[in-house]
């Protein structure tokens, strides 16, 4: 059974086994054809798949995108594998968690301002919530959304310390960078300091990184932009994982491992 984020952290080997069993990594649910379709659309300049990053003309060959995804996420590097099963390497997931933990440790030591946000509230909300709670206990300032922040798709609200998109009294899945852009723009208008660190996913992470903020991002194997951003040094860390498995509780051991490695559990 999954453990809670507040319980004892698993060992690396235990976490790798858990990631594979729950399909957070290993043989994931996202099919190969969906991955390749997204890589192609990103390479063709469809900005929806850039997730708030400015990729210019640097990634116009989908084979270059595939090579980065094989290296940093663990998908198959075979260009002739066009459909069926694809993978995320659980060892790469844990490696990225350890790099993220180093940033969280630094934030805790410096009592930094940290902003949390998710476009996957059905899956990753509690990963962010538990991390925010742990950093607050170490003296970090967990930043709040400044006032009423509206975007075209709804309102940006904060739920359990995590910025999310709300529409029609529901929390929405979104890839858009607009909500994060709206938060940062409002902070600037208010004369308020921006975050020292952002932990987020999708366009929330891409936008923050593009604005020059140290960013930890979570990304699925069909969302290549954040991995390209890390390869270019725009994002500090991109953690590869299936970002919406059948139960959000399956992420608890991952969160426990992250917080323990950061020394903030």
Strands 170-172 and 162-167: antiparallel
Q: What is the mean pLDDT of residues 140-168?
A: 93
Q: Which of 112, 64, 65, 86 is nearest to 214 (CA)?
A: 112
Q: What is the mean pLDDT of residues 58-72?
A: 98
- Whether the per-residue pLDDT at 71 is higher than 60: the answer is yes
The whole model's pTM is what? 0.95
Q: What is the mean pLDDT of residues 1-25?
A: 83
How many Å separate Cα 183 from the centre of its chain?
17
Contact indicator for 97, 251 with CB cutoff of 8 Å = no
pLDDT for 6? 53
pLDDT for 169? 86
Helix intervals (H) in the chain: 12-22, 32-43, 62-72, 90-110, 125-137, 178-190, 202-210, 225-232, 252-262
78's tokens: 């075979």
Q: What is the mean pLDDT of residues 120-130?
A: 95
Q: Is 196 helix (H, G, I), strand (E, B) or coil?
A: coil
């Amino acid at each position: 059974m999954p453990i809670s984020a507040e319980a004892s952290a698993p060992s690396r080997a235990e976490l790798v086994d858990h990631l594979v069993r729950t399909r957070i990594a290993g043989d994931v649910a996202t099919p190969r054809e969906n991955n390749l379709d997204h890589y192609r659309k990103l390479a063709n300049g469809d900005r929806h798949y850039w997730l708030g990053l400015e990729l210019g003309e640097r990634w116009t060959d989908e084979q270059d995108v595939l090579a980065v995804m094989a290296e940093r996420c663990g998908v198959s590097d075979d260009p002739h594998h066009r459909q069926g099963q694809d993978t995320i390497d659980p060892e790469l997931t844990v490696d990225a968690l350890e790099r993220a933990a180093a940033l969280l440790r630094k934030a805790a030591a410096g009592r930094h301002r940290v902003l949390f946000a998710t476009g996957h509230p059905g899956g990753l909300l509690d990963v962010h919530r538990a991390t925010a709670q742990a950093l607050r206990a170490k003296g970090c300032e967990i930043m709040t959304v400044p006032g009423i922040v509206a975007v075209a798709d709804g309102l940006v609200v904060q739920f359990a310390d995590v910025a999310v998109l709300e529409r029609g009294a529901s929390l929405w899945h979104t890839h858009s960078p607009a909500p994060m852009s709206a938060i940062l723009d409002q902070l600037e208008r208010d004369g308020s300091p921006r975050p020292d660190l952002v932990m987020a996913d999708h366009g929330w992470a891409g936008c923050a990184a593009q604005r020059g903020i140290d960013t930890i991002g979570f990304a699925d194997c069909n969302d290549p932009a954040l991995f390209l951003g890390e390869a270019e040094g725009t994002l500090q860390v991109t953690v590869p994982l299936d970002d919406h498995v059948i139960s959000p509780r399956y992420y608890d051991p991952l969160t426990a491992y992250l917080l323990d490695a950061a020394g903030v559990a």
